[in-house]
Amino acid sequence: MPAKTTGNGGKSRKSSAGGRSSQSKNSINTVKTVYRRSGMSVGQFFACVILLLVGVISGIGCMKLVTEGDRFELLGEQEIHVGIGEEFFYTDEGVKLVSLGRDLSDSVKVETNLKKTDKGYTVDSSRGGVYYIKYTVDDIKYGETVRVRAVIVGEGEK
């Protein structure tokens, strides 16, 4: 049996040459007791860990499949050029919003400074200027995102 020392307030402990201190043994015993009370064997523990990892990897894979076709994009041209004095009538092609696998195109807010008619949009092309149709979405995936279609009346690239 290893020698005992008494330099710690009357408490006895095994010397470092003889093994672990009683405090270390108590910690190990506590862990062993908690582990035994859980009723889980080592094999069951590793099985749980493996199943957890498989679940996480499967979840990531499924989310990737669900969100693969997600997009928020303008349909049609981003810029439309109109010469001064040209007649202009535009039927909006809108946007396509797919978020988390669901088509949410109808939930997009539309704001414009073009003149809206029953069949589309017109603009006063007698003078130059920049007009817009702004599409805004507030979505869990995209946050608050804006897409803008510009109608440029006057000089500019065509």
In this prediction the pTM is: 0.58
Asked if 75 and 93 count as a contact pair (C-beta separation under 8 A), the reply is yes
pLDDT tens readout for residues 85-127: 888 888 889 999 888 888 888 889 999 999 988 888 998 888 8
- E-only strand ranges, 52-142: 71-74, 79-82, 89-90, 95-99, 102-103, 109-112, 115-116, 121-122, 129-139
pLDDT top residue among 51 and 139: 51
Q: What is the pLDDT of residue 16?
A: 47
Q: For 123-147, what is each residue's pLDDT tens digit? A: 888 888 999 999 999 887 778 889 9
**Mean pLDDT, rounded, for 22-39:** 68
Is the model's pLDDT at 14 over the cut of 50? no
N residues, the chain: 158
Is pLDDT above 50 for 46?
Answer: yes
- Calpha distance 149→116 (Å, rounded): 15
Place of tokens 């402990």: 13
